[in-house]
Amino acid sequence: MRTRPLKVALLGCGVVGSEVARIMTTHADDLAARIGAPVELAGVAVRRPDRVREGIDQALVTTDATALVKRGDIDVVVEVIGGIEPARTLITTAFEHGASVVSANKALLAQDGAALHAAAGEHDKDLYYEAAVAGAIPLIRPLRESLAGDKINRVMGIVNGTTNFILDKMDSTGAGYQEALDEATALGYAEADPTADVEGFDAAAKAAILAGIAFHTRVRLDDVYREGMTEVTAADFASAKEMGCTIKLLAICERAEDGASVTARVHPAMIPLSHPLASVRGAYNAVFVESDAAGQLMFYGPGAGGSPTASAVLGDLVAVCRNRLNGATGPGESAYAALTVSPMGDVVTRYHISLDVADKPGVLAQVATVFAEHGVSIDTVRQSGKDGEASLVVVTHRASDAALTGTVEALRKLDTVRGVASIMRVEGE
């Protein structure tokens, strides 16, 4: 084994960073044996240098992250600051000064992954980011490497623990959204400002990253259709139950049937209770992958938290260190397929639509005509009503999102349709 240590600079020492530092210290011998050389924490960049950080030598702590990544003797920079800046500049500076990078930064990777990969490639350095998607769950490496000889057709997952906790709570207790969110906040599963989670921004970033890797195509954050789960109601869960379904916030990356284009989207959807994703409880994450040869695979585990995220970061750290000792780099960006990323209108799926309608003869015929005119075929209709008001629940066959949108617009114009109570996609059948 090489005795000269590989030097690691840690950018950020919050929940994840402190756990990375702790494991690097307590498991130093194991890491050295697995890498083939010891690893040494050479510096820790933080915003608040005065905070006491147990187990971290105060002499390593600095507020000057830029100087740290510019030192020139750093082998690997571990970036767990999050956000776009200063993380982006620090990572590119790290490459320029000879370091490889391990990052857990989903927002940055989703927005600027291509440029960062290019910077890594230019300097012949590694950029690894297993921790950016689904925390501890090995997902990026299996997609990039284990399935490198296969053709992936769909990646569908629960990639946000906060929203899964809320939806699971609504499902199991019948609570409304606000009540479930309050509990998630009280238990620390939701942040004070939960927007990034509940509006699907976090999941959309992960969808962009996953789609890019799965389809060997650049998928920008703007390419991902995004719909949050704040409008999901207890009534929606009741409807889902009647269908033998539950509701999950899903990130879905799909290859079109003709193989020439892909789509990526995040939205709440009904999935059958028999689907493996339906039984993913609490804040757990799980990602379902369908490919030509392997068939259906699922990866399940904790999607967030200091320790799980640190596990993913350290796995990458070991890989990057091994590569460095080998004088090699791992697989970089693979975007050779350059498939078209189609808009949401091209997505084909099934829909569950609840309408409030007038309770009089001919309404069903009128509604059915609108569906037919837009080429959306109806699978089942359930009508219930009293006191002159009725509700119609329509479940469609597969249709494009554009056709469904046109249908709904036309339905809203019917005098007999008082309102569209909810529209929910049905997935995983």
CA gap 254, 293 in Å, rounded: 16
Q: Which is nearer to a copy of itself, 295 or 362 (CB)?
A: 295
Please report, as ranges, the residues that interact with a copy of itself according to CB under 8 A. 19, 23, 27, 30-31, 33-34, 130, 136-138, 141-142, 145-151, 216, 276, 279, 291-302, 305, 307-308, 310-319, 322-323, 326-329, 331, 334, 336-337
* 36 backbone φψ class: left, alpha, beta (φ>0; ψ -120 to 50): left
Of 59, 89, 85, nearest to 77 (Cα)?
Answer: 89
Q: What is the DSSP letter of 137?
A: S
15 annotated ligand-binding residue = yes
The one-letter amino acid code at 225 reads Y
Q: What is the DSSP letter of 394?
A: E
Q: Which is nearer to a copy of itself, 111 or 311 (CB)?
A: 311
CA distances from 295 to 147, 288, 289, 301, 346 (A): 11, 10, 8, 20, 24
Q: Which is nearer to a copy of itself, 24 or 392 (CB)?
A: 24
135 annotated ligand-binding residue = no
CA distances from 80 to 108, 196, 198 (A): 11, 18, 22
Q: Which is nearer to a copy of itself, 49 or 299 (CB)?
A: 299
CB of 298 vs a copy of itself, minimal distance in Å? 4
17 annotated ligand-binding residue = yes
CA atoms within 13 A on the CB side of 183: 16
Q: List, in sequence order, every beta strand (DSSP E) within 232-365.
A: 245-255, 261-272, 284-291, 295-302, 340-341, 348-358
CB of 15 vs a copy of itself, minimal distance in Å? 13
14 annotated ligand-binding residue = yes
Q: Which is nearer to a copy of itself, 2 or 412 (CB)?
A: 2
CB of 65 vs a copy of itself, minimal distance in Å? 22
191 annotated ligand-binding residue = yes
18 annotated ligand-binding residue = yes
CB of 225 vs a copy of itself, minimal distance in Å? 27
CB of 398 vs a copy of itself, minimal distance in Å? 25
The residues assigned a catalytic role are: 206
Residue 26 has φ and ψ, to the nearest 5°, of -70, -25
Bind-site residues for NADP(+):
11-18
- Show binding-site residues for L-homoserine: 191
Binding residues are 11-18, 106, 191
